[in-house]
Amino acid sequence: MTPSPPTIPSWRLLWLAFTLIAGSAGATDTAYLGEARDEKGDLVYTERHTVRSGAQGVVDSLTEYLAPDGSLIATLRSDYSRSVALPTYVFEDLRRDYREGLRWQDGGYLVFHQTGSAPEKTAPLRRDSGVFSCQGWHYYLIDNLGLLEKDNITLNLVLPSELRPYAFVVKRLAADQSRISAELSLRNWLLRQFAPKMLLEYDREKRRLLEFRGVSNIQTKTGERQEVTIRYKYADE
């Protein structure tokens, strides 16, 4: 009987891929990983982020979502060339054959989502001032971490599934010299009772996200929403 090859933990394989990406990319490219676990502590997926930056800041980014076995289950491609706060993007869930995002079309922003071969649902973005899409709010907070120490800061976040932005309130949770954490929740008090909160923790000095807790944009295999804790790992750690 032919002996089976040794099994390499999927996390180590991902770190190998991470190293290859960071090493082969240009000096302005960065890559990092996020490990998403459910309330039981079980790994449900891994995020592999690749971010390309230029003289004016982030240019574009790719997030690949990998199942525990390493298979690709979703992608998120963002383009910040028009606006870092309001990037155009496409999120695709390969298991559900679902896509959503924001695109620039006919001189304006268009929010969209689509499942399978069903007709695409779209709506124009009525306003773009003070509105954030996709990971735009994340980069905004990184550049303005001091805002997390103030209460009742409002971020208007585009939700493609609803075809419009919703107002979220940022509330400080804790802060010290090295880290700062905050909570994002819907401003509407009625909707807030039914909508989960997002908890964020940032590294002050290195200006990067350390942990996210909240509802994931990746659903379970059966198509249900799931809450996860994602801890991020960077190449210099």
Going from N- to C-terminal start, the domains of the chain cover 10-234
Tell me the mean pLDDT in the region 69-92: 96
Tokens of 173: 């949770």
The span from the CA of 20 to the CA of 221, in Å, is 30
Cα-based distances in Å from 218 to 45, 92, 121, 180, 188: 9, 10, 20, 26, 24
Phi, psi angles (nearest 5°) of residue 142? -60, -40
Counting residues of the chain whose pLDDT is more than 70, the rounded percentage is 84
Q: What is the pLDDT of residue 190?
A: 47
114-140 pLDDT per residue, tens? 999 999 999 999 888 889 999 999 898
Q: Chain-wide mean pLDDT for the chain? A: 85
The span from the CA of 233 to the CA of 218, in Å, is 19
Query: For every residue of the chain, which 3-state class applies, written as one string?
Result: CCCCCCCCCHHHHHHHHHHHHHHHCCCCEEEEEEEEECCCCCEEEEEEEEEEEECCEEEEEEEEEECCCCCEEEEEEEECCCCCCCCEEEEEECCCCEEEEEEEECCEEEEEEEECCCCCEEEECCCCCCEECCCHHHHHHHHCHHHHHCCCEEEEEEECCCCEEEEEEEEEEEECCCEEEEEEEECCHHHHCCCCCEEEEEECCCCEEEEEEEECCCCCCCCCCCEEEEEEEECCC
Could you tell me if 52 and 60 are in contact, meaning their C-beta atoms sit under 8 angstroms apart? Answer: yes
Its pTM stands at 0.84
Could you tell me if 111 and 102 are in contact, meaning their C-beta atoms sit under 8 angstroms apart? Answer: yes
Tokens of 212: 């996210």
Tell me the mean pLDDT in the region 160-164: 93
Confidence of residue 195 (pLDDT cuts 50, 70, 90): low
Tell me: pLDDT of 231 over 90: yes
Tell me: pLDDT of 4 over 50: no
Q: Which position has the higher pLDDT, 195 or 158?
A: 158
Q: What is the pLDDT of residue 20?
A: 38
Q: State the pairing for strand pair 198-203/227-234.
A: unpaired
